[in-house]
Amino acid sequence: MDLLLWRAITWPLLAAVFWWIAGRAAEALIALRHRQLRPRITVVETVVAFLIMAGGAVLIGGSVVYERGNIYTKFDSALIAIAGGLWAFLGGLSVVARFRQWRLRRSQAANATIAAQG
């Protein structure tokens, strides 16, 4: 099988998981405006998204370090930095959504406790 054909078949399947996690995080952040906890971001999604975010940050840092040493590949380094920034941003969405859901659950529990006491 040709390498390009193999990439055309496998990469969309691998990317589907990435985009699924980012899409659920965007939905969760939008739902938080209405003080809703659905879709609930799980710990597994948060860990995977954090690893994606960290990988994006490493790509950004690596492209900056590599660019300093090699002036002929500035365009390639810029593309790698942009891709790393996208990964870091979309991975960070899940981390932020999980944190904000945790805060909302905590505030709702505190309000329920106050209502039960008074």
Q: For residue 9, is it within any domain?
A: no
CA distances in angstroms from 109 to 95, 105, 114, listed in the order given: 21, 6, 9
What is the per-residue pLDDT across 25-73, written as a single tens digit (0 to 9) for each? 999 999 999 999 999 999 999 999 999 999 999 999 888 777 666 666 6
Query: Across all residues in the chain, what is the average pLDDT?
Result: 90
pTM, entire model: 0.85
Please tell me the distance from the alpha carbon of residue 32 to that of residue 97, in angstroms, as a whole number: 8
Q: For residue 13, is it within any domain?
A: no
Cβ-proximal residues to 37 (8 Å cutoff; 6+ apart), any chain: 31, 101, 104, 105
Q: For residue 82, is it within any domain?
A: yes
Q: For residue 66, is it within any domain?
A: yes
In total, how many domains does the chain have?
Answer: 1
Please tell me the distance from the alpha carbon of residue 73 to that of residue 93, in angstroms, as a whole number: 30
Q: For residue 79, is it within any domain?
A: yes
Please tell me the distance from the alpha carbon of residue 23 to that of residue 63, in angstroms, as a whole number: 27
**Residue 68 belongs to domain spanning:** 18-117
